[in-house]
Amino acid sequence: MSFFRRLFSSQSLPKPGDPPASPAKSTGELVPITPTQPSAAVQPPTPPTEPMQRPTGEPEQRPLNGFSTGSLVDGVTRPLPQDALIDLTGNEHLAFGQATDVGMVRTNNQDSAFSFFSAARSAFERPDFGLFVVADGMGGHHDGEKASALAARSVGTHLLTKIGMPLLIGDDHFNDVPITEAMNDAILKANNEVVQKVPDGGTTCTAVTVIGDMAYIAHVGDSRVYFIQREKIERLTRDHSLVERLIELEQLTREEAEDHPQKNVLYRALGQNEDIEVDTLTRRLPPRSRILICSDGLWNQVDDTKIRDVINLYPNPQEACSELVKLANNSGGLDNVTVILLQLPG
């Protein structure tokens, strides 16, 4: 258990019986996963604001841009140094936002997120590189947040080691193993860690690697990846849930699925078994298109067109993320909600 102590030492994990978690302070220690933080940026659903209304005035948050490193999802807004701010129009590089919240009902946040992005301009001509992971844990006694934290960190660091760092160094061996195969390996490795270290926990895991304008996706569970381009919103992942499968087979309608007694049954998740099948796919991202990675706390509460509208309304991906979280909470906030939004330059 020393592992978890290390992992969580800087976090105030809510103990059973604790009042709803108090905001965890990020200490700046290099722990890119923070499983339990109510977002300070997201106001409780006090007077149902008009989420569709564009906020006026200068936005507080700016997309992380230029060369940046691992970010903490703690929902705490920090101003970025002025020199990191650039104009939103005509971005040269990918921008991203990330937000998570415990929701309105649960007492702990079992979601984890990991983001890493680098862009460099130099004679070496390395493409933009990004790595983004959302994991939604399940299990009592904090097993859920442990499982998701472990998965997000394991996948993140494995891919950074195998792809990210060699790519930045200029080592062509970064591609000795094809990208989606490396991502598959990363999730299998994370699965083994979850099976061994959190035997009673499980987690979804959805990872996106971006190299240049290509997105490589690896996915297990019912967190989702959406592709958004103007009026189009397309789900790229398939939920590994029993009801989704019954819908695919036309044995159940979407409406019947809404309140199906086994709505919460996943047929595939990390921690289930030593051997799991990972879905992988590749997608070329056109200029100005977006990729949204989210846990079911978002898509169960907010329908796809609404998600698309919010994303189109807020050109700043961090603002869009905060709005999405707010919207999920305003619609009931029955579950933890985590979103990562990537915006392609153009």
Partner 1 sequence: MPETQQFIGMEGDGRNDTSLKANVVLKERYKVLGVIGGGGMGTVYQARDLNFTEAKRLVAIKEMQSLAIESAQRATMLRNFQREANILAAMSHPAIPKIFDFWDVQDRTQDRAYLVMEYINGRDLEAILAQTRELPIEKIVEWSIELCDVLDYLHNQTPNPIIFRDMKPSNIMIDALGRVRLIDFGIAKAFVPDATGKGTMIGTEGYSAPEQYKGEATPASDLYGLGATLHHLLTRKDPRLEIPFSFHERPIPNYNDKVPPKFVAIIEKSLAKDIPDRFQSAAEMRAALEDLRARPASAPVTVSSPNAAPSDNSTSFFDDITENSGSVQPKWVFKTEDEIRSAPTLYRDVALVGSYDTNIWALRLENGEQVWKYATKGGIASSPTVDETNKNVVFGSEDFSIYALDVRSGRISWTFQTKDRIRSAPRVAHDHVFIGSDDGKVYALNALNGRKLWEYDAGAPIRSRPYVTNDVVIITCASGELYGLSLSGQRKWAYRTRGAVYSSPYVEPNEGVMFVGSSDGYMYAFDAQSGVSSWRFRTGGPVISSPTENKGLLYFGSTDGYLYAVNAQTSREKWKFNAEKPIVGSPAVHKGSVYFGGTDDYFYCLDAENGKERWRFKMGGAITAAPTIAADLILVGSLDHKLYAFPLIT
Binding positions for partner 1, 233-292, rule CB under 8 A: 240, 242, 245-246, 249, 251-252, 256, 260-262, 264-269, 271-275, 279-284
- Which of 60, 128, 181, 309 binds partner 1 (CB under 8 A)? It is 181
Q: Which of 108, 145, 100 is nearest to 328 (CA)?
A: 100
Length of the chain measured in residues: 346
Question: Which one-letter amino acid corresponds to residue 304?
Answer: D
Q: Which is nearer to partner 1, 26 or 148 (CB)?
A: 148
Q: Which is nearer to partner 1, 76 or 247 (CB)?
A: 247
Q: What is the DSSP string of 187-225?
A: HHHHHHHHHHH-TT-EE-EEEEEEETTEEEEEEESS-EE
Q: Does 36 bind partner 1 (CB under 8 A)?
A: no
Q: Does 79 bind partner 1 (CB under 8 A)?
A: no
Q: Which two tokens stand for residue 24?
A: 């965890």
- Which of 102, 179, 190, 339 binds partner 1 (CB under 8 A)? It is 179
Closest CB 252 distance from partner 1, rounded Å: 7
Q: Is 75 left (phi over 0), alpha (psi -120 to 50) or beta?
A: left
Part of the chain binding partner 1 (CB under 8 A), chosen from 50-58, 81-89, 211-219, 224-232: 211-219
What's the CA gap between 245 and 147, in Å, rounded?
25
What's the CA gap between 241 and 247, in Å, rounded?
10
Closest CB 74 distance from partner 1, rounded Å: 24
- Which of 134, 152, 210, 211 binds partner 1 (CB under 8 A)? It is 211
Burial (CB count within 10 angstroms: exposed 0-12, middle 13-18, buried 19+), residue 251? exposed
Question: What's the distance, CA 193 to chain centroid?
Answer: 20
Closest CB 60 distance from partner 1, rounded Å: 34
Part of the chain binding partner 1 (CB under 8 A), chosen from 32-40, 74-82, 114-122, 178-186: 178-186
Q: Does 160 bind partner 1 (CB under 8 A)?
A: no
Q: Which is nearer to partner 1, 161 or 282 (CB)?
A: 282
Q: Does 168 bind partner 1 (CB under 8 A)?
A: no
Burial (CB count within 10 angstroms: exposed 0-12, middle 13-18, buried 19+), residue 304? middle
Q: Does 227 bind partner 1 (CB under 8 A)?
A: no
Q: Is 340 left (phi over 0), alpha (psi -120 to 50) or beta?
A: beta
Q: Which of 15, 12, 31 is nearest to 23 (CA)?
A: 12
Q: Does 63 bind partner 1 (CB under 8 A)?
A: no
What's the CA gap between 195 and 189, in Å, rounded?
10
Cβ-contact 155, 186 below 8 angstroms: yes
Closest CB 345 distance from partner 1, rounded Å: 16
- Which of 18, 92, 171, 200 binds partner 1 (CB under 8 A)? It is 200
Q: Does 196 bind partner 1 (CB under 8 A)?
A: no
Binding positions for partner 1, 100-159, rule CB under 8 A: 127, 136, 138-140, 143-144
Spell out where 107-163 has E strands: 111-118, 129-138
Part of the chain binding partner 1 (CB under 8 A), chosen from 56-64, 82-90, 91-99, 176-184: 176-184
Q: Does 300 bind partner 1 (CB under 8 A)?
A: no
Q: What residue ranges bind partner 1 (CB under 8 A)?
A: 127, 136, 138-140, 143-144, 172, 175, 178-181, 200-202, 211-212, 214, 216, 240, 242, 245-246, 249, 251-252, 256, 260-262, 264-269, 271-275, 279-284
